[in-house]
Every structure is written in C-alpha cells, then in structure tokens.
C-alpha cells in the first residue's frame, strides 16, 4: 500500500520520502514531512505512531490502515477497536496531530487508479480539522479521484463506519478473488 501511494504521489509531482525499518527512520521522515501517511498494518499502528508524538505534532496524518484481527484464512475477521476506530484512537493519542481517515474501503490498486473500475468508486474522508481534510482532498485529486467521488463523512468519529466496512473484504474476495474493488455510494 505504502509503495503504491508513494509511487503515485511522486508521479503527481510531490516530494515523497518512505521510512524503512531502520531504527529512527520513521522519526526522521515524520520530522521533515508536512503530511504523513500511515500505511502500516493496523494492528501495530497505534503503538508505532504514538511513539512519534513529538515528530507528528502539527502534521497531517493520513490513516489508510484498518485495525483488524485476522481470521483463520488470513483475511480480516474482526475489528481491534469495536465501538471505535483506529483513526479515533490515533486522534485521541495524538491530540496535536490532524488525523484524516481515507482510502481504507478498497483494495489498494484502486487507491491510486480509481478510474480503472467499471463503476465510480467513493473515497470517504473522516477528520476533525477542515483544512487537513481539504489538503487530503487535494492529494486524492492528484491520485485521480474526481471531487464528486470524494465524500466527507464528518468528524473523526465517522471513521468507525468505514473501518467496519473492512469486514466486507473477505467475503468479496472469496466471491470474486483479488479483483480490484471499492465501496461506492450510488446516487
């Protein structure tokens, strides 16, 4: 997911730095970035990112992860934060960071190529800061998302709905394989 987003944002003209697993790399990258994308596995995201509290202060944190427990087949089986969401947990743990949840209701190829689907997909935004959401909306546009394909659901609390949508994924994959798909609002 992270590599796909990094490549697409670079092609769109953004300066992108990817943190590797070297000690201190994430802190160095977060310190120098304006926007940080969390594309780490959701089960460990909260711990990883709260360790970067100082480096993320005042930044926009785009959370594309879903915090799930895997089922026996390795696909998402349940939510780690039922009645909440990873995005809400991140915002609570990082009050000086502007968390925006998006792109977590689709298979990863759709994140950077939404027009490849046969029907119009929807990218949802959840976050408490309107300016942070506008920055994320602009980045989504750079990734090929049309403005009318982006739906602002409201505050960060609304992320629990999109994170719960991940529970559709195993069933869709079992039915159709790893064919790219996204959740879409039909109007």
pLDDT number for residue 169? 84
Kindly state whether residue 183 falls inside one of the protein's structural domains: no
Range of the domain at 146: 2-176
pLDDT at 173: 85
The domain tally of the chain equals: 1
Q: Is 78 exposed, middle or buried (0-12, 13-18, 19+ CB in 10 A)?
A: exposed
182 domain-assigned: no
Q: Where are the alpha helices (DSSP H) in the chain?
A: 2-11, 25-32, 42-50, 53-56, 86-93, 108-111, 130-142, 159-164, 169-176
Which helix H or strand E contains 100, and what residues bound it?
strand 98-101
How confident is the prediction along the chain (187 residues), in pLDDT tens digits per residue? Answer: 999 999 999 999 999 999 877 778 889 999 999 999 999 888 999 999 999 999 999 999 999 999 999 888 888 889 999 999 999 999 999 999 999 999 999 999 999 999 999 999 999 999 999 999 999 999 999 999 999 999 999 999 999 999 999 898 888 888 988 899 999 998 8
For residue 22, tell me if it sits in a domain.
yes
Q: Is residue 64 part of a domain?
A: yes
Q: Show Cβ contacts of residue 35 under 8 Å, excluding neighbours closer than 6 positions.
A: 59, 60, 61, 62, 135, 136, 139
**What is the C-alpha to C-alpha distance for residues 119 and 30, in angstroms, rounded to an integer?**
36
As a whole number of angstroms, the distance between CA 68 and CA 71 comes to: 9
Question: Which residues make Cβ contacts (< 8 Å) with residue 107, sequence separation at least 6?
Answer: 169, 178, 179, 180, 181, 182
Angle at 64 between CA 63 and CA 68, to 5 degrees: 100
**Do the Cβ atoms of 41 and 48 come closer than 8 Å?**
no
Residue at 187 is within a domain: no
Q: How far apart are the first and last CA of the chain?
A: 29
Q: What are phi and psi of 157, to 5 degrees?
A: -55, -30
Residue 134 sits in a domain whose CATH number is 3.40.50.720
178 touches 105 (CB < 8 A): no
């Amino acid at each position: 997911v992270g590599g796909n987003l990094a490549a697409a944002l670079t092609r769109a003209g953004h300066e992108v730095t990817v943190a590797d697993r070297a000690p201190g790399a994430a802190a160095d990258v977060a310190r120098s970035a304006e926007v940080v994308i969390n594309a780490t596995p959701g089960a460990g995201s909260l711990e990883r990112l709260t360790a970067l509290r100082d480096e993320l202060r005042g930044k926009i944190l785009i959370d594309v992860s879903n915090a799930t427990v895997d089922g026996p087949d390795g696909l998402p089986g349940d939510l780690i934060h039922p009645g909440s969401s990873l995005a809400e947990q991140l915002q609570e743990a990082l009050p000086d960071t502007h968390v925006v949840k998006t792109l977590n209701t689709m298979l990863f190829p759709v994140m950077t190529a939404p027009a490849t689907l046969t029907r119009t997909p929807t990218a949802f935004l959840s976050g408490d800061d309107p300016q942070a959401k506008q920055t994320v909306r602009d980045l989504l546009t750079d990734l090929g998302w049309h403005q009318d394909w982006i739906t602002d659901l409201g505050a960060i609390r609304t992320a629990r709905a999109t994170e719960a949508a991940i529970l559709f994924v195993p069933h869709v994959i079992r039915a159709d394989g790893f064919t790219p798909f996204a959740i879409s609002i039909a109007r």
